[in-house]
């Protein structure tokens, strides 16, 4: 989402400005009480907000992006540490023990405590999230309450001598409780929970809880109870209400604001130094230092300016939707997973097949969306595809359906992948490679592709004799289950009988079968529920069928993919003139011809124009004409006079009320959607729609 009201990203800028206020005290020259409220009450929403946003986006991918988030945060922290090294040395530096403590807990400058806090907090929050959100929030809330006693409520909690001894012992190691153990997990998990209260309730709750927190802060200040002032009893309630309000308003994103707000956070202490140093050099101390409000404005303006300059100097990357792209509807994918799971019998789990880049949908993006929908088992074609999923944080079972050489068994173990046994010789080779290997035993029931023949009990028993091969599943593949022709239905029945006879023999002889699975997409659509542990669903998971042929079950599946490109040029071709290679198109009338930024190198069939291929422009169908080029296509936009360069062209998917189905495109080209979609090139980036 690039349009809409980017409430979360816009609020990041306000939060960054509040952090600057904490360290410059803008109202100190106006009123001590007013400055206390601004910097020690209102501004205390900034850091929890940053943490909640992080938790919110991590949880939307079921924490699958945790590794990437940690690496990026660690890199920012390292850059900040280096940036402020001169400041630390100027201030006298630290001892070796001091450096270690500051790096791991405090941050090497006063504002950098955020980074070790969020790094540790994310690790804790992710583990707590596995308990379920209610239990996770309860545990994180208990940690927050414990930290509260060492922060703003210190003077109240430590009236008990035992607690004072406990807190003072903690402070001998770490000076504050606003760290990754006590503080960060709660706000990360509150963001992950994404609580929505409704606009009116959130607005009222924000106002009331801010009032309560203000009263709490001034009361504790009057008591002299505050050791620090980052943690208040009312702060989590305020953040729930405020974040809910922002979620209600959030309908878009501004990635630029994310980068600029973080740069402001990182750079503002350096600007404080520069403003103060410049004021002294120019004799402007009374204006730029003594006047606290002007001092704040100068620091903030300088920080914003530097952040914007650095943002403009960043390494630019091409926009994903600049030329041609695949658009993955993650909502449709999650919907399909839920519908398919509901169609399976109790005890049978969905195994998402994400081979061939998730049938052209983007394996990393699709697997993360499915993991967020509760899918915990995936199937790929080869080891490389399995490793790629692990690298983006996909957990659970990953089964390699294809052949893997025995020499690559260390990779299977390293990345915790399960391997299909292709035949008896393959099983022997895997066993001889040494080390434990998780396997699924393929049974050939009549497709004659992979697997040990059903009924070859000697070969099957041999596989079980190898102690280092751990059988975690037994499966087969049905080769004509997509057909409802009588002969094919009968053959499918024979395959099922052979498979279950083999499974029955295994169980009768005490061999563990692990998860049994035989249904793929058309097995779910055309067969009654099978008493299996998994159903391996590929093409149907993406809301598409291999062809327009009939099926027994009409499930409410939604296409999850659109393929789009852009018009790059529009010109008028006179009647009788030709266009494209080989002059394949001859205009029979004055024709407006548009060039489109996609071609056969992106995976489109070269014969698509001559087979009647269509596209959508501004919700209207337009014909593909001429020869499809490697990188470009030509379309007739005569009937769309407003079509212009930059317009989006849809080749698969919806535009307004019009739809172009992958099944129809495949039928035009005499093939199946599986081939059409899996040929979509890696040059087409994946744009996710949530």
Instruction: Tell me which of 434 and 522 has the higher pLDDT.
Output: 522
Lowest model confidence (mean pLDDT) among 100-109, 254-263, 356-365, 489-498: 100-109
Indicate the pLDDT class of residue 1, thresholds 50, 70 and 90. very low
Indicate the pLDDT class of residue 146, thresholds 50, 70 and 90. very high
pLDDT of amino acid 153: 95
CA dihedral 479→482→487→493, nearest 10 degrees, is 60
Total Cβ atoms within 10 A of residue 414: 11
CA–CA dist 101, 192 (Å, integer): 29
Mean pLDDT on 162-184: 90
- Write the Ramachandran bin of 552: left for phi over 0, alpha for psi from -120 to 50, otherwise beta: alpha
What's the N-to-C CA distance of the chain in angstroms? 8
Distant-in-sequence, close-in-space partners of 538: CB < 8 Å, separation ≥ 6:
353, 355, 359, 379, 520, 521, 674
Indicate the pLDDT class of residue 687, thresholds 50, 70 and 90. very high
Q: Is the CATH number of domain 324-542 3.20.20.10?
A: yes
Write the secondary structure of 549-570 as one string of H (helix), E (strand) and C (coil): CCCCCCCCCCCCEEEEEEEEEE
pLDDT of amino acid 393: 86
CA–CA dist 605, 126 (Å, integer): 44
pLDDT > 90 in the chain, percent: 85
From 201, 524, 221, 602, select the one nearest 350 (Cα to Cα): 524
Determine the 3-state secondary structure of 373 from DSSP.
coil
pLDDT of amino acid 348: 97
Q: State yes or no: pLDDT of 293 exceeds 90.
A: yes
CA–CA dist 352, 379 (Å, integer): 6
Domain map of the chain by residue range?
A: 1-27+255-316, 41-253, 324-542, 561-660
Q: State yes or no: pLDDT of 296 exceeds 60.
A: yes
Total Cβ atoms within 10 A of residue 239: 23
pLDDT of amino acid 95: 78
User: ∠ at Cα 272 (37, 20), nearest 5°?
Assistant: 35
Instruction: Tell me which of 689 and 615 has the higher pLDDT.
Output: 615
Total Cβ atoms within 10 A of residue 35: 18
Question: What values do phi and psi take at 178, rounded to 5?
Answer: -80, 60
Determine the 3-state secondary structure of 387 from DSSP.
helix
Mean pLDDT on 218-242: 95
Give residue-wise pLDDT tens across range 319-369: 899 999 999 999 999 999 999 999 999 999 999 999 999 999 999 999 999
Give residue-wise pLDDT tens across range 484-500: 999 999 999 999 999 99
Helices (H), 1-95: 7-22, 32-40, 46-60, 66-83, 85-90
From 447, 437, 430, select the one nearest 488 (Cα to Cα): 447
Tokens found for residue 101:
């403590």
**Paired sense of beta strands 620-625 and 633-636, if any:** antiparallel
Question: What values do phi and psi take at 379, rounded to 5?
Answer: -130, 140
Lowest model confidence (mean pLDDT) among 107-116, 440-449, 475-484, 619-628: 107-116
User: ∠ at Cα 194 (188, 195), nearest 5°?
Assistant: 115
CA–CA dist 84, 109 (Å, integer): 7
> Cβ distance 77 to 119 under 8 Å?
yes
Q: Percentage helix, strand, coil, to 5, in the chain?
A: 50, 15, 35
Q: State yes or no: pLDDT of 370 exceeds 90.
A: yes
pLDDT > 70 in the chain, percent: 99
Question: What values do phi and psi take at 343, rounded to 5?
Answer: -80, -10
pLDDT, mean over the chain:
94
Instruction: Name the class of domain 561-660.
Output: mainly beta
Which residues are part of the catalytic machinery?
Answer: 355, 581
Q: Residue for token digits 């630390």?
A: 88
> Cβ distance 662 to 651 under 8 Å?
no
Indicate the pLDDT class of residue 4, thresholds 50, 70 and 90. low
pTM of the model: 0.74
Total Cβ atoms within 10 A of residue 277: 10
Q: What is the DSSP letter of 103?
A: I
Determine the 3-state secondary structure of 258 from DSSP.
helix
From 173, 47, 66, 15, select the one nearest 117 (Cα to Cα): 47
Give residue-wise pLDDT tens across range 193-211: 999 998 999 999 999 999 9
Q: State yes or no: pLDDT of 185 exceeds 80.
A: yes
Distance of CA 252 to the CA centre of its chain: 16
> Cβ distance 235 to 48 under 8 Å?
yes
Distant-in-sequence, close-in-space partners of 277: CB < 8 Å, separation ≥ 6:
none
Mean pLDDT on 214-234: 95
Total Cβ atoms within 10 A of residue 214: 17
């Amino acid at each position: 989402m690039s349009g809409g009201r980017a409430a979360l990203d816009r609020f990041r800028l306000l939060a960054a400005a509040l952090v600057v206020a904490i360290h410059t005290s803008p109202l100190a020259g106006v009123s001590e009480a007013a400055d206390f409220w601004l910097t020690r009450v209102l501004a205390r929403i900034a850091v929890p907000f940053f943490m909640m946003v992080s938790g919110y986006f991590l949880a939307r991918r079921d924490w699958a992006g945790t590794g990437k988030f940690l690496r990026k945060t660690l890199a920012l922290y390292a850059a900040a540490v280096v940036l402020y090294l001169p400041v630390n040395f100027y201030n006298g530096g630290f001892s070796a023990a001091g450096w270690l403590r500051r790096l791991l807990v405090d941050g090497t400058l006063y504002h950098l405590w955020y980074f070790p806090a969020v790094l540790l907090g994310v690790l804790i929050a992710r583990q707590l999230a596995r308990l379920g959100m209610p239990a996770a929030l309860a545990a994180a809330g208990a940690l927050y309450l414990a930290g509260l006693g060492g922060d703003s409520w210190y003077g109240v909690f430590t009236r008990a001598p035992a607690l004072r001894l406990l807190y003072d012992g903690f402070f001998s190691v770490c000076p504050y409780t606003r760290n990754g153990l006590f503080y960060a997990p709660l706000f990360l998990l509150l963001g992950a929970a994404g609580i929505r209260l409704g606009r009116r309730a959130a607005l009222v709750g924000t106002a009331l809880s801010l009032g309560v927190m203000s009263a709490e802060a001034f009361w504790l200040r009057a008591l002299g109870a505050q050791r620090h002032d980052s943690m208040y009893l009312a702060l989590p309630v305020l953040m729930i209400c405020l974040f809910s309000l922002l979620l209600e308003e959030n309908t878009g994103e501004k990635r630029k604001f994310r980068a600029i707000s973080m740069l402001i956070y990182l750079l503002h202490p350096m600007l404080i130094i520069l403003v103060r140093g410049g004021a002294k050099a120019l004799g402007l101390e009374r204006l730029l230092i003594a006047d606290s409000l002007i001092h704040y404005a100068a620091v903030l303006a300088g920080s914003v300016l530097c952040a914007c300059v650095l943002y403009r100097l960043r390494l630019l990357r091409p926009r994903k939707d600049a030329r041609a792209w695949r658009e993955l509807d993650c909502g449709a994918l999650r919907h399909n997973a839920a519908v398919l799971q509901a169609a399976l019998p109790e005890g049978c789990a969905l195994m998402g097949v994400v081979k061939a880049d998730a049938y052209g949908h983007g394996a990393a993006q699709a697997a993360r969306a499915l993991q967020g929908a509760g899918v915990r088992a995936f199937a790929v074609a080869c080891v490389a595809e399995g490793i790629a999923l692990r690298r983006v944080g996909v957990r659970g079972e990953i089964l390699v359906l294809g052949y893997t050489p025995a020499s690559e068994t260390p990779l299977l173990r390293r990345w915790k992948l399960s391997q299909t046994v292709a035949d008896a010789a393959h099983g022997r080779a895997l066993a001889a490679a040494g080390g434990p290997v998780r396997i699924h035993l393929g049974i050939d029931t009549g497709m004659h592709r992979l697997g040990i023949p059903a009924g070859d009990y000697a070969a099957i028993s041999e596989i079980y004799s190898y102690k280092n091969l751990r059988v975690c599943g037994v499966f087969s593949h049905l080769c004509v289950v997509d057909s409802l022709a009588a002969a094919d239905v009968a053959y499918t029945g024979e395959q099922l009988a052979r498979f279950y006879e083999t499974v029955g023999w295994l169980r009768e002889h005490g061999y563990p079968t692990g998860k049994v699975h035989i249904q793929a997409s058309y097995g779910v659509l055309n067969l009654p529920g099978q008493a299996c542990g998994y159903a391996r669903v590929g093409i149907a998971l993406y809301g598409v069928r291999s062809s327009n042929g009939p099926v027994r079950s009409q499930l409410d599946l939604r296409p999850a993919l659109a393929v789009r490109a852009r018009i790059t040029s529009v010109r008028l071709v006179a009647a009788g003139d030709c266009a494209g290679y080989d002059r394949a198109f001859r205009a029979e009338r004055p024709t407006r011809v548009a060039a489109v930024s996609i071609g056969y190198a992106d995976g489109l069939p070269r014969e698509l124009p001559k087979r009647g291929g269509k596209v959508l422009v501004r919700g209207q169908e337009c014909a593909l004409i001429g020869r499809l080029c490697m990188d470009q296509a030509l379309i007739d936009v005569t009937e769309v006079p407003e079509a212009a360069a930059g317009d989006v062209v849809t080749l698969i998917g919806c535009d307004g009320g019009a739809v172009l189905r992958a099944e129809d495109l495949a039928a035009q080209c005499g093939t199946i959607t599986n081939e059409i979609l899996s040929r979509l090139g890696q040059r087409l980036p994946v744009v996710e729609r949530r």
